[in-house]
Structure 1
Amino acid sequence: MDRADGSEDGWLIPKLQHKVKNENWLVESLKRTQDRVADAITGFAGSLNFVYLHSVWFGLWILLNIGLIGAALEFDRYPFGLLTMIVSLEAIFLSTFVMVSQNRQAMRTELRSQLDFEANLRSEVWSTHIGQQLGIDPAHVEAVVAKVIAQAAARQGES
């Protein structure tokens, strides 16, 4: 099977003919260190481990500061002003990291759209060329395509 492209090199198609771009590779190549850090923080902040860690942290903070562990250890008495400030700062930074990640996700969506467009255009050019070489009537093919699209839309409307 490997010899189908004329050479036995472990590839089923010649490497030079592979024109489709891998979106994941492109996105990874564009990432900077700060993007990786923002992704890691956003990924952790969106996990249940983050919720568990904060539940334990808040619980211990409150228990410590209402005197249940020892009155001598209290450092942030009710209404826990220091805790409120820390949580507020954390919320500000987390929301910023989320927005940075969303902006990069939007960039990735635009890149995906461009790559899809290029792949679709390449397929259309090849299909047209092959159809011309085979003597296929493009008007007939377009009529069949329009009919299939209409049928698919009708089926979607039924469900």
Structure 2
Amino acid sequence: MSEQDSQAMHHPAVVAHRNSRAGDAQLRIADAITKFAGSMPFVYIHAIAFVLWMLFVEGSPWPTLTLVVSLEAIFLSTFVMIGQNRQAAFQQIKADHDFVEQELELKTNTELTRAIHVMTTELHRRLIEDGAEQ
């Protein structure tokens, strides 16, 4: 599937948002970290690493392990907030796009309704005139 085909399958706001994020290296890195941190391999790696650390690296691992886990939690919570901010920005872009599209649709429907009204009025006028002539 080509990139153009994949873009055709997504909402225009999604495509625009994805393209804007792809242009920023920091956002790509944050997205990659967030994607990995929210996966089961991340959990497995940490479970194995912590067990190995407690068994083989330090005799009394708790003070150092607590520090490492706390620092990691700080960074991971930051990435969660980055992801939430990204999602909120995307939702705003999509809402703005949908609003513009709905307004355009409303305008088109209003114009069609007016045109139908004009044609119906003209049809009734002609029918009345034709009925009066007979």
Bucket of the pairwise TM-score, normalised by the shorter protein: 0.7 to 0.9
Q: Distance in 2 between matches of 1:98 and 1:35?
A: 13
- Deviation, 1:86, is 1.5
Aligned residue pair count: 106
- Deviation, 1:59, is 1.2
User: In the alignment, what sits opposite 1:127?
Assistant: 109
- Deviation, 1:80, is 2.6
Query: Does 2:99 match 1:114?
Result: no
Q: Considering only CA atoms, is the larger Rg found in Structure 1 or Structure 2? A: 2
Where does 1:136-155 land on structure 2 (aligned, <5 Å)? none
**Structure showing the higher helix proportion among its residues:** 2
Gaps (5+ residues) in structure 2? Answer: 1-10, 119-134
TM-score by length of 2: 0.72
- Deviation, 1:79, is 4.4
User: In the alignment, what sits opposite 2:3?
Assistant: none
Q: Distance in 2 between matches of 1:104 and 1:55?
A: 29
User: In the alignment, what sits opposite 1:25?
Assistant: 15
| Residues 43-70 of structure 1: per-residue CA shift (max 9 Å, x gap) | 11111111111111111111214xxxxx
Q: Which runs of 4+ in 1 moved over 6 A?
A: none
Q: Greater relative contact order (Cα 8 A, min sep 6): structure 1 or 2? A: 2
Q: Distance in 2 between matches of 1:93 and 1:79?
A: 21
User: In the alignment, what sits opposite 2:86?
Assistant: 104
Where does 1:1-159 land on structure 2 (aligned, <5 Å)? 22-31=12-21, 32-65=24-57, 76-135=58-117
Gaps (5+ residues) in structure 1? Answer: 1-20, 66-75, 137-159
Q: Distance in 2 between matches of 1:43 and 1:134?
A: 53
Aligned-CA RMSD value: 1.6
Using the aligned pairs only, state the percent identity. 41
